[in-house]
Structure 1
Amino acid sequence: MDPAKFPVSAIPLNHAQYGPITDENLKGINEGKVALVTGGARGIGRAISVKLAISGASIAVLDRLEDELAETARLCEEHGARVKTYVVDVTDVEALRGVLKQVESDLGEIDILVNNAGVSPGRPQWMESFEDYWRTIEINFKATMVTSWYLLPKFRERKAGVIINIASRAATVDFPFAVGYNSSKAAVARATSTLQEEIELDGLGDQIQLYALHPGGVPTAMAKKEIRQELLEKYPSLVSHGTDFQSLFKDPPELCGATVAYLAAGRAKELRGMYWDCRQDVERVKAYGREKLQKEGRYTLKMQFLDGYENEP
């Protein structure tokens, strides 16, 4: 991806916790709730778990990395949170369902679901088997739907619950070597908005919210992958683009983690069902007004045609 092809925000973005999402303002806002975080062993998932712990929630952390899970639990417990960890492959549907049931037994009914588990192999289609491509879809999208399908009926019955799906700017732009990642994140964003539409039809939007959240440019293990030498030789322009691309990853995972805790507490219901970038000021965006955001088609995936042509039903 060539960053020069894309615009730059005239309003400065946040690259650290600010105002309403500082640790001081997060304390206790999710007291008594149970939160489940997938892919919580390190990076963004770990930061989300810790910020939810600061906000007072009990935490269930899922991942395949047992040692790293233990460290996440320790960090959450430093804030007085009750924490349980579960080693599971989120693409194994029955195993994942079993863990969800176990969490309910261990911690109680789940109030907050954060679908964070994700991968991006960073290979072009011709270097990737279909099976590898499909596994990306399964981790990033199928697992998100498995957990949502399990919990949404329970949320409907209790008339309460929040689902936060970690999406990506990749859902909104085209760039090479990420067909599985891009398409799965676009699917996450669209599924989030569609499911919220169904919730709204039943008059439950004030009780149940779903969000698709871009976590910012976080220098995770996935983001730090070097471009392969054979790709640099085949596509020389990647030398400059790759360097520029890596420099975009400058956001701490705590910014996303704090935003998740804030959304989980129902503090930005105006943005429910929408795709949103955690680097933007949440108070500024929600102050614009939900009705106006929807009327203008903002914070949603859309298609633009030539003037005069419309996306008719």
Structure 2
Amino acid sequence: MNPRIAAVIWGLFVIGAQIALPLALRDRLPDPLATRWGLGGLASRSMSLTTYIVVTFLLWAVLWLVALAAAERATARRPSRTVWWGGLFGLGALALGVNVTTVLANLDAPDWAASRLPGWQVLAVIAAGTGVAVLAGYLRKGAPDQDPAHRTPPLLRLRPGRRTVWVGHAANRWLTLLPVAALAAALVLGLLYVTGLVPGGPATSVLPGLVLVLAAGVLTSSVSVQVGDGRVAVRFGPLGWPARRIPLSLIESAWSETRHPAEVGGWGIRGLPGSSTIMLRGGECLVIRYRSGGRLAISIDDAERGASLINALIAERVEQSTTTD
């Protein structure tokens, strides 16, 4: 089935179910109704039935429209195809599960404060959403990708006895803003905690997440690749750490190729060991094929020149080995 048609059908079904369920049972639901529960399944927050239906509709509609817009590129490759199908159906199942448990918790309750949500239902919804996502991704992953069209780098001849090095860089200014925003939020949260405006519980629970976002943003906002001295070194972040060093003896060949985030599942490090992509921005990528059959793609500027040097250094090693033998 065409991905766009599947997205339209599934999205409309979820929207219809999200709206129809509370409307069909509105005579048995309190208004306002409970929409949030704390420890022990006790209701802690409510909203009017009309507001609940609108919010439920909008939350899914936004996710659905994003998936619909990304359908063409997101299904171009097997890894992104798996993520797209899994995300589309998994999030839809999760949204339906949340709606069903919310309605059941409020059903026939005298008022919203009297509603109860058993913990096992929350776990069941999460498990069901995850299971649907895994199943949909597996069933719709499709056949293995064929080798995409790539630009064969020009042949580069090295002068004997001369050391040649290539360095390429790439950065994403939007990803750079992520750690800045996380740092600002952490400072504001700390200030509010010190002044007593925010209690310690919420502050200490949110701060670790902000620290993780800060660290991840710093490490994945930029990347550099250096070819030379018998290896390919991939360095992350402004400090060039951490770094991954790949000996040329493990590489079979290299080339440049155009890739986009939607084709590989988004920004950052995507894929699985043996077939992964370091995606900071769409466009030119340096692709390395290992002798073991695995591949590593890195979004980097001037990738064609880097691939030429890698191939030339490999050819030089082979020639030297043949001469020695």
Structure possessing the higher relative contact order (Cα contacts under 8 Å, 6 or more residues apart): 1
Structure 2 length-normalised TM? 0.24
Largest Rg, 1 or 2:
2
Structure 1 length-normalised TM? 0.25
Give 1 or 2: higher strand fraction.
2
Give 1 or 2: higher helix fraction.
2
